Amino acid sequence: MDTLFIAADSALRTLFAKPRASASCETLPEGPSELNDAERRKAAGLMRVNHVGEICAQALYTAQALSTSNPDLRQHFNKASAEEVDHLAWTAERLQELGSRPSVLNPLWYAGAFGLGLLAGRLGDPISLGFVVETEQQVGAHLQSHLEALPAGDHASRAIVAQMADDELRHAQQAQAAGAVELPWLAKQMMRSAAKVMTTVAARI
């Protein structure tokens, strides 16, 4: 019952409460952002995708923390989740600044990611950590592609994405050091396919 309450509380806070960052983004914009309407729409679509990624991160880490019986590993997942809240807050704020909104499918994205996190956790701690490594590496590559795709004048979004990319790499390295095993090729491909569907849909809806 406690597990159910923890899971429900996390979902409600992630999906419906305003996220509050514990710190401002350390990477500073190179200058003021000056965008025309088309650039603003493009930036908003990309930042909506990044916001969805942070919704999923909260679901994954919460589920993995609930699945492990190792208290040290549970603390590891909870700490990573808390750090990802900053990303959630930064992307939500940037979406608002761009005059846009989060994905209306966020409850669906959360539920799917939570299920994946539970599955990874049930397969054992090394695999669960391996799932973190692969997820964060894929997210890092995805963020690098966004740095190339964002309008050159959107310095605010670019600063956020650059900081997020650094943080995701660090989370992957920490999971690797904690005892992650490499996932099978097929599992990695399935994760890439699922991520492609999510990013394509979230950019628009």
Model pLDDT for residues 134-154, shown as the tens digit of each residue: 888 888 888 989 988 999 899
3-state secondary structure of 44: helix
CA within 13 Å, CB half, 137: 16
pLDDT digits (tens, 9 = 90+) for 42-99: 999 999 999 998 999 899 889 988 888 898 888 888 888 888 899 999 999 999 999 9
Whether 36 shows a pLDDT value over 80: the answer reads yes
pLDDT at 158: 93
pLDDT at 2: 62
pLDDT at 98: 93
Whether 9 shows a pLDDT value over 70: the answer reads yes
Class of the CATH domain delimited by 36-202: mainly alpha
Give the relative orientation of helices 37-67 and 155-177 as an angle to the nearest 10 degrees.
Answer: 20
Q: Stretch 105-123: mean pLDDT, rounded?
A: 88
Share of the chain above pLDDT 90, in %: 26
Q: When comparing pLDDT for 175 and 204, which is higher?
A: 175
Q: Could you give the angle at the alpha carbon of 64 between the alpha carbons of 174 and 77, nearest 5°?
A: 35
Whether 3 shows a pLDDT value over 70: the answer reads no
pLDDT at 1: 54
With tokens 């499918």, the residue in question is 105
Domain range summary for the chain, segments of one domain joined by +: 36-202
Q: Stretch 157-181: mean pLDDT, rounded?
A: 90
pLDDT at 23: 83
Q: Is the pTM of this model over 0.95?
A: no
Q: When comparing pLDDT for 22 and 97, which is higher?
A: 97
- DSSP strand E in 87-194: where? none
